[in-house]
Amino acid sequence: VQLQASGGGLVQAGGSLKLSCEASGRIVRIDRMGWYRQAPGKERELVATITGFSVTDYADSVKGRFTMSRDRAKNTMYLQMNSLKPEDTAVYYCNLHGLTTILPTGEYVVDGDDYWGEGTQVTVSS
């Protein structure tokens, strides 16, 4: 399973960006998708998650500004970020947790591990 994130960049405060992350592989089901971020000198923190039932949850710092969605058919997650602030500057990582994959033999494998994308830089200038 591989994750490829895109959409980061440089934007002025108050602007918007949309991140995308596509998961590739023999994926049958994804229990939870998430976005995390890590600013310089800080620990990685949760930004938003979306479950298999499309229930979303957000960090308090981004509620009302960020919206997470997913496209099941494409195994792709999105993060629409509006009203960006300089404190949103970080490397954003996409995450998968709880996968069901199918082997070439047709056997299903349930995996409780976490999978991470390489990260995409978001920089918000003041």
Query: What pLDDT does 89 receive?
Result: 98
Across 6-12, average pLDDT: 97
Per-residue pLDDT reduced to its tens digit, 72-118: 999 999 999 999 999 999 999 999 999 999 999 999 999 889 999 99
What DSSP line would sit under 47-100, residue for residue?
EEEEETT--EEE-TTTTTTEEEEEEGGGTEEEEEE-S--GGG-EEEEEEEEEEE
Query: What pLDDT does 69 receive?
Result: 96
- The mean predicted confidence, pLDDT, of the chain is 95
Q: What is the Cα–Cα distance from 7 to 5, expressed in whole angstroms?
A: 7
